[in-house]
Structure 1
């Protein structure tokens, strides 16, 4: 459409920029997500786009958040300790801003017990906006849903540490993973019980992701069919096995 700029990334949704806004496909979860974004704005949290309803084509309308995102292989500036700490603190600020928000609504994924916060559920370099090399906002809240803090922290750590098998392109030695995971947990100020559960929770998150991806591919979803054909599910399974092998080394207490 005239005046629309297709934005790169995403991998699942067709996303365009129109002026200072972003237009994305809406779904049954969109009212709950927009309620979350309005709540965040009301709490003074600036690390998320504001919602502006639905346009004439049935797409959700959000702020365009200026800056840059990153993807794999991660550039060196994303892999610094300073960025790792800043992401953990931004995630903590986000979670704290959601405390007390109703869990009611049609979320993309069902709530996970115990409900403590509204998890973003896909905190990753490609969903984090950076300016001058520092994280300033999270984007793409489609998969947000109620759950425990560690459900989000473990997945964000998987993405940013990263907790990958050292043999892949982004892998780092296990000892360095343990050091960076501890740094992330410290910056978030994560409690002891949740620290003990980080690696185990990351495994559960990846197993859930693989199952969901294959389910959607089997249902004929083109985006997830492409993911499976590319071998993304097998990549995550490789990292599940890595986390299982080294779970004790990755406990941060």
Structure 2
């Protein structure tokens, strides 16, 4: 009998490691995700696991990506400027690698976990966060858990990743950076990604919309009997995200002015 090691995660899926692979539950979105991972592999993008079909128990089989996946409270190395910029660059490389996916793969809207967002510029990962990012020696090397991938605009993914990694959290409720430092780190993230002017102009509003989308999804899933999401609501996750939305709205001007101000002149 092959040994299975249960892997810690977000509490939604039961995930195990079997040797050099990971086994996870499948869903209606799995064929689209596997096509995406195959596209990434064919294009030479190394920041995602490879898929290997489905095992005899009906679970998807993916490469196990070795490294550290930080958990809260985040260690200092995961909060460094280098880690923050590295995540932004990895996200840009991922997006660029997906930009032509829909040209080669006919995927109906219903194939994805989330419906596509307009404009469908890239395939968004959908949940770029520390718990879905593998680091080695303090450097991000791969994203994992692509279940929530779906077509959408770059800023839809960028705003959520920035929320998670800056992080754009209320210092009065969560141990985190003060607002001025959050603004600086947000600019660093946008610069490292190479976000265009249109994306910068909408980033903070999109972050709020993305968190509102998350709250609605949690309640929708709980209403359908999903016990994992029901437990998240019971512990107050939805109320926490409402606090975060209010924080981003309250400091929108500071975030936006830092995002769009001209770069400092060089020496």
Q: TM-score, normalised by structure 1?
A: 0.98
Q: Secondary structure of the equivalent of 2:116?
A: coil
Contact 1:73 1:169 in 2 (8 A): no
Instruction: Name the structure 2 match of 1:104.
Output: 107
Deviation per CA, 1:105-129, whole angstroms, max 9, x where unpaired?
4000000000100000100000000
Confirm or deny that 1:249 pairs with 2:254: yes
Secondary structure at the aligned position of 2:127 is classed as: coil
The 10-residue stretch of structure 1 (195-204 or 167-176) with the greater mean CA deviation from structure 2: 167-176
Per-residue CA distance 1:146-191 (angstroms, 9 max, x = gap) = 0000000000000000000111334321111110000000000000
Distance between the aligned counterparts of 2:175 and 2:78, measured in 1? 12
Q: 5 Å matches for 1:80-119?
A: 80-102=80-102, 104-105=107-108, 106-119=111-124
Per-residue CA distance 1:93-116 (angstroms, 9 max, x = gap): 000000111162400000000010
Aligned to 1:14: 14
User: Aligned partners of 1:215 and 1:82: how far apart in 2?
Assistant: 37
| Pair 1:72-2:72 in alignment | yes
Find the aligned partners of 1:10 and 1:227 in 2 and give their Cα distance. 10
Distance 2:238 2:83 in 1: 27
> What is the rounded CA distance, in whole Å, between the counterparts of 1:219 and 1:101 in structure 2?
32
Does residue 1:25 correspond to 2:28, yes or no? no
* Aligned match of 2:222: 217
Mapping for residues 1-253 of structure 1, pairs under 5 Å:
2-102=2-102, 104-105=107-108, 106-251=111-256, 252-253=259-260
Offset of 1:79 from its aligned partner? 0.6
Q: Secondary structure at the match of 1:197?
A: helix
- SS of the aligned residue for 1:146 comes to strand
Taking the aligned partners of 2:42 and 2:188, their CA distance within structure 1 comes to 30
RMSD (Å), alpha carbons: 1.0
- Deviation of 1:203 (Å): 0.2
Give structure 2 stretches of 5+ with no counterpart: 261-267
State whether residues 3 and 18 of structure 1, in contact with CA within 8 Å, keep that contact through their aligned partners in structure 2. Answer: yes
* Corresponding residue pairs, total: 253
Shift of 1:10: 2.8
The TM-score normalised by the length of structure 2 is: 0.93
Contact 1:116 1:148 in 2 (8 A): yes
